[in-house]
């Protein structure tokens, strides 16, 4: 290919999945510094990653808009639906790379990798990197053997909003503090509100703690309980993720379960502690923080979990493994080593 290729990359699923793919996307840019590269993803995810995309000279294309009217030399489906792959196939994009797993993928992609991601035998980021390397090979480029580490660029406007929110919660710019983000969407097991209360009780004896509260009902219920236990506990609430990431950047450490904000904190360059389930589909081997420059520590119950896609509940001999760990003492020990 004589002229720089035009490459459309698709990651149409959720925030955490996209964040884990950023090192692979950065690696693609390094292999083709002159190429025109666009990222097809959810509008809110693209908005959050605006500074990263500008830095990497990658054009955002929203799934919510008409996106299939342009001509591309290559398509990279890091994650996409059959409907998206069909549109790319019908547009006769010459090089179409994706994960060979679904029945339609063998017909619609002409290059790819057989990946059984449900086995969770490596990071989601590594699965993405394998597909990038396949695309680079097919386009005649040079693959990068090392992981392209990512640190999301600072957004000055959002940083100002973060500083204002911290001041309102009682945290001054020069203060040292830890963020606990206890809520999640419910796609994996999480700790109870009582367990988070015990973690916060031990942390606040040593360092200032701020609770990040999302809009979900679960977040609100956890916060209501924590507030009743700790009337003076500080919180951050109502910020968009673009500003919340700048709150994370100012912190010493972020503690969270398996959720998008945990990956966001990792990629802004602060140490993180992740709380995970042993269920195979939730396992940190696949979903742990990956590709950032700062240390990430993950903990999960060290049991032989028979659950593949979800917890088996009382029928499991290890149930309830999430309650058999002294999480507060375990995490406090990590906090002492990281702050």
Give the residue with greater pLDDT, 164 vs 144.
164
Q: What is the pLDDT of residue 2?
A: 72
Mean per-residue pLDDT, 58-74: 94
* Rounded alpha-carbon distances, angstroms, from residue 122 to 36, 46, 295: 30, 26, 18
Q: What is the pLDDT of residue 274?
A: 98
Q: Is the pLDDT of residue 217 over 60?
A: yes
pLDDT tens, position by position, 16-39: 999 999 999 999 999 999 999 999
Within a domain: 83: yes
Residues 28 and 80 in one domain: yes
Within a domain: 1: no
Domain residues for 18? 6-138
Residues 21 and 109 in one domain: yes
Domain count, the chain: 2
* Rounded alpha-carbon distances, angstroms, from residue 306 to 124, 185, 222, 249: 21, 23, 29, 37
Residues 116 and 181 in one domain: no
Q: What is the pLDDT of residue 1?
A: 54
Residues 178 and 128 in one domain: no
Q: Is the pLDDT of residue 305 over 60?
A: yes
Mean per-residue pLDDT, 252-275: 97
Mean per-residue pLDDT, 205-232: 94
Choose the final residue of a domain: 138, 166, 184: 138
Residues 126 and 168 in one domain: no
Within a domain: 286: yes
Residues 209 and 254 in one domain: yes
Residues 198 and 249 in one domain: yes
Q: What is the pLDDT of residue 185?
A: 83
pLDDT band at 174 (very low <50, low <70, confident <90, very high): confident
Residues 128 and 165 in one domain: no
Residues 263 and 211 in one domain: yes
Within a domain: 70: yes
| Burial class for 158, CB neighbours closer than 10 Å (0-12, 13-18, 19+) | buried
Q: Is the pLDDT of residue 301 over 80?
A: yes
Does residue 180 contact residue 226 with C-beta atoms inside 8 Å? no
Cα(125)–Cα(127) distance, integer angstroms: 5
Q: What CATH number corresponds to the domain at position 54?
A: 3.40.50.2000
Q: Are strands 95-100 and 111-114 parallel, antiparallel or unpaired?
A: parallel
% pLDDT > 90, the chain: 91
Classify 269 in phi/psi space as left (phi over 0), alpha (psi -120 to 50) or beta: left
- Rounded to the nearest integer, the mean pLDDT of the chain is 95
Choose the final residue of a domain: 138, 168, 190: 138
Residues 133 and 170 in one domain: no
pTM of the full structure: 0.95
Residues 165 and 304 in one domain: yes
Within a domain: 40: yes
Q: Is the pLDDT of residue 120 over 80?
A: yes
């Amino acid at each position: 290919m004589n002229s720089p290729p035009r490459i459309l990359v698709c990651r149409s699923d959720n925030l955490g999945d996209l964040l884990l793919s950023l090192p692979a996307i950065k690696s693609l840019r390094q292999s083709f510094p002159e190429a025109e590269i666009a990222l097809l993803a959810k509008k809110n995810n693209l908005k959050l990653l605006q500074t990263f995309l500008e830095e990497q000279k990658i054009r955002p294309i929203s799934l919510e808009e008409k996106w299939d009217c342009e001509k591309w030399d290559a398509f990279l489906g890091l994650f996409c639906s059959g409907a998206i792959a069909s549109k790319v196939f019908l547009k006769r994009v010459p090089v179409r790379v994706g994960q060979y797993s679904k029945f339609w993928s063998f017909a619609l992609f002409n290059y790819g990798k057989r990946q059984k991601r449900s086995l969770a035998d490596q990071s989601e980021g590594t699965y993405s990197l394998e597909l990038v390397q396949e695309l680079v090979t097919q386009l005649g480029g040079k693959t990068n053997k090392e992981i392209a580490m990512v640190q999301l660029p600072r957004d000055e406007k959002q940083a100002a909003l973060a500083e204002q929110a911290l001041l309102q919660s009682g945290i001054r710019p020069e203060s040292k503090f830890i963020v606990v983000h206890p809520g999640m969407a419910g796609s994996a097991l999480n700790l109870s509100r009582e367990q988070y209360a015990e973690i916060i009780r031990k942390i606040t004896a040593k360092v200032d703690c701020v609770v990040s509260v999302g809009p979900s009902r679960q977040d609100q219920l956890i916060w209501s309980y924590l507030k009743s236990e700790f009337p003076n506990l500080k919180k951050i609430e109502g910020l968009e993720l673009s500003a919340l990431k700048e709150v994370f950047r100012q912190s010493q450490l972020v503690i969270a379960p398996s959720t998008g904000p945990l990956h966001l904190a990792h990629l802004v360059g602060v140490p993180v502690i992740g709380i995970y389930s042993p269920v195979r589909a939730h396992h940190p081997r696949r979903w742990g923080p990956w590709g950032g420059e700062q240390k990430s520590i993950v903990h999960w119950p060290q049991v032989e979990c028979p659950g593949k896609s979800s917890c088996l509940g009382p029928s499991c001999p290890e149930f309830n493994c999430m309650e058999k760990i002294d999480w507060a003492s375990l995490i406090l020990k990590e906090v002492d080593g990281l702050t």
